[in-house]
Structure 1
Amino acid sequence: MLNRNTRIDASGAMNEQITTQRREVSGQTIGELINLSGRQRMLSQRIVLHVLLASHGDRAALAVVRDCLATFASTHRVLVHGDERLPGVFSEGLQQLYYGTRKADERVQRFIALTDETLARVEADDDADDGVAREYVDALVAQATPLLELLQEITLAYQNEMRGIEAATQRRQSAIAEQLSSISMQANIVALNARISAARAGSYGREFAVITQVLADIIKEMDALIYSVVDGNADEPASRRDASHGTSQLSSRSRVNTRSPQRICT
């Protein structure tokens, strides 16, 4: 009964926390959550394996189980409740997984409680292959595969959250690229009109023509940066190459700007 009340209290606390932690979560943060949830799968299997070893007389395995169980339980608390860096359950999908029909939080808590009780029975039973301790070990082993499937589902849920973040990032980048493209088109029109005006002005328009050429060069650089943003949506390594290319273009822009006053003065 104590374990059940503890789980109910933990669920109530988390439900309250969910209402106050509706905030944007970065891809880097979700990546950390994916790593933690993936480690839970490994720990669950390690726990069951070493409980079996301990039940057959390997007392050193008991210490391994204790250590793994402590890490498993603390990681689950972080995934559900969060800490100073990680948000806990931060989306409707995760809330449904942990507290909805799948009852992931409750099932993980049951596994933790059963493991702790099994360890106590194995330690207290001189012949762990018989009696009550064996029943607890069998019950824990029976939970191994269903729990592994549940932990895999949790990991996939975090991966889906990551895909959502990536899709939103791509949409924002595409919107920025469209805005830059519109600005570039308008600037091209202005540059064309400026060239026409400079040509009509004859010899008096030469200095103005220099400024117009500088503006045209800047527009070309803007177009190159726009393409780099668009390419970055499709290929991350390409985005790094385009970013470095854009940096060199920005440097050349600064060189053009420093030269342009000299040309105008002459």
Structure 2
Amino acid sequence: MKHQTQTRHDDVSGQVIGALINLSGRQRMLSQRIVLHVLLASHGEPGALAVVKDCLATFAATHAELVNGNAHLPGVFSDALRQLYFGTRRADDRIQQFIAYANHAVASLESDSIDAREEIAALVAQATPLLELLQAITLAYQNEMRGIEMASLRRQNEIAEQLGNISMQANIVALNARIAAARAGQFGREFAVITTVLADIIKEMDQLIHSVVDPSGTNDASRRSSAQRAAPVATAG
């Protein structure tokens, strides 16, 4: 199977990885259905062979999408997945081998070949190892999802820290402006109103930051910034 066009890891969204997790999970179910219905077909179960063909076509097409990608999916997009599919685990080769065994079993059953029993036994022998491999693939996609979530959390914390520093500086400026307005007496009354409004805006901005970035109130960076803002240092002389 040809390798897909490389997609940058950072370009893959959590929503896309969620779709990949669902597809890889469905592959586990399909692999079991393929083996089960091959066995049922070997015992003359009506319609079992048709189920095998349908499941096998979906299984093969989905594997191609997971590896090579399509208009909506990136294919194998990370070093961890490339190692799993094309490295020591040889997931791509092993899945292709399972597909080949299944096709041989179907052909033998359709032609009532004397090799059918042998072909079915070879397929059944692949069932458990393949199921374990497909589970490892699903776990790999779940790890990619956790990586994206951690990166998003780090970005949120960095933004919260930056906004906290800006808010702290704005608080200091507003306090110094109020001091300057008080010193100006009646000439600073209008300016004092402006600084009060500014202080209210800063307070609302702080509350918005905390509610969006850290609704549980457990963000260390936000707590540190809040503590700093609680005791600004006046610098106006």
TM-score range, shorter chain: 0.7 to 0.9
Q: Does 1:197 align with 2:180?
A: yes
1:44-70 Cα offsets, whole Å, 9 max, x none, are 001111000000011310110100000
Q: State the secondary structure of the residue aligned to 2:76.
A: coil
Mapping for residues 212-227 of structure 1, pairs under 5 Å: 212-227=195-210
* Residues 53 and 159 of structure 1, relative CA distance in 2, 3 Å threshold: same
Q: Is the 8 A contact 1:191 1:215 kept in 2?
A: yes
Q: Is the 8 A contact 1:177 1:229 kept in 2?
A: no
- Residue of structure 2 equivalent to 1:211: 194
* Residues 202 and 234 of structure 1, relative CA distance in 2, 3 Å threshold: closer
Q: Is the 8 A contact 2:95 2:130 kept in 1?
A: yes
- Corresponding residue to 1:50 among 32, 37, 45: 37
* Residues 78 and 232 of structure 1, relative CA distance in 2, 3 Å threshold: farther
- Residue of structure 2 equivalent to 1:249: none
Q: Is the 8 A contact 2:86 2:92 kept in 1?
A: yes
Using the size of structure 2 for normalisation, the TM-score is 0.88
Q: Is the 8 A contact 2:24 2:138 kept in 1?
A: yes
> Distance in 2 between the 1:169 and 1:21 partners?
19
- Residue of structure 1 equivalent to 2:86: 99
Q: Please, which runs of 5 or more residues in structure 1 have no aligned partner?
A: 1-9, 236-266
Q: Is the 8 A contact 2:37 2:48 kept in 1?
A: yes
Structure 1 counterpart of 2:16, one-letter code: T
- Residue of structure 2 equivalent to 1:251: none
Structure 1 counterpart of 2:194, one-letter code: I
- Corresponding residue to 2:49 among 58, 62, 67: 62
> Distance in 2 between the 1:209 and 1:121 partners?
90
Of Structure 1 and Structure 2, the greater helix share is in 1
- Residue of structure 2 equivalent to 1:142: 125
Q: State the secondary structure of the residue aligned to 2:115.
A: helix
- Residue of structure 1 equivalent to 2:223: none
Q: State the secondary structure of the residue aligned to 1:108.
A: helix
* Alpha-carbon distance, 1:89 to partner: 0.3
- Residue of structure 2 equivalent to 1:250: none
- Identity %, equivalent residues: 71
Using the size of structure 1 for normalisation, the TM-score is 0.78
Q: Please, which runs of 5 or more residues in structure 2 have no aligned partner?
A: 219-237
- Residue of structure 2 equivalent to 1:22: 8
* Residues 233 and 26 of structure 1, relative CA distance in 2, 3 Å threshold: farther
* Alpha-carbon distance, 1:232 to partner: 5.0
- Residue of structure 1 equivalent to 2:165: 182
- Residue of structure 1 equivalent to 2:146: 163
Bigger relative contact order (CA 8 A; separation at least 6): 2
> Distance in 1 between the 2:143 and 2:27 partners?
18
* Residues 234 and 149 of structure 1, relative CA distance in 2, 3 Å threshold: farther
- Residue of structure 1 equivalent to 2:231: none
- Residue of structure 1 equivalent to 2:227: none
How many pairs align? 217
